[in-house]
Amino acid sequence: MPAHPPLTLDQLREIQSRRRSDPDITALLWEVHRLRATAISADQFLRAIGEGAIYGTYAGLSAKDLRSRLSLEPAVIEDAARRLKR
């Protein structure tokens, strides 16, 4: 586990509301937004290709590791919850 637990979208919004006038914080939050979007895209890709089809290969090992990491990402967890509400 990292030194600091991953932040949820609500926690990021709270940081933004407290430090809205700090351009460095704004830049960092945009970078976090970009990385969260990348995590969601990676999750969508793995779901689309059907991970089971590539397990047992080197690519499969990488996909399994990526799936494991993504399962802990708040952005992916929050996206899954949003999809379930539809």
Dihedral angle computed from the Cα positions of residues 49, 51, 53 and 56, in that order, rounded to the nearest 10 degrees: 140
Distance of CA 4 to the CA centre of its chain: 15
Q: Do 78 and 9 touch, CB atoms closer than 8 A?
A: yes
Write out the chain's pLDDT in tens, 86 residues: 568 899 999 999 999 999 888 999 999 999 999 999 999 999 998 888 875 666 667 777 788 888 899 999 999 999 999 999 98
Residue 49 confidence (pLDDT): 80
Q: pTM for this structure?
A: 0.75
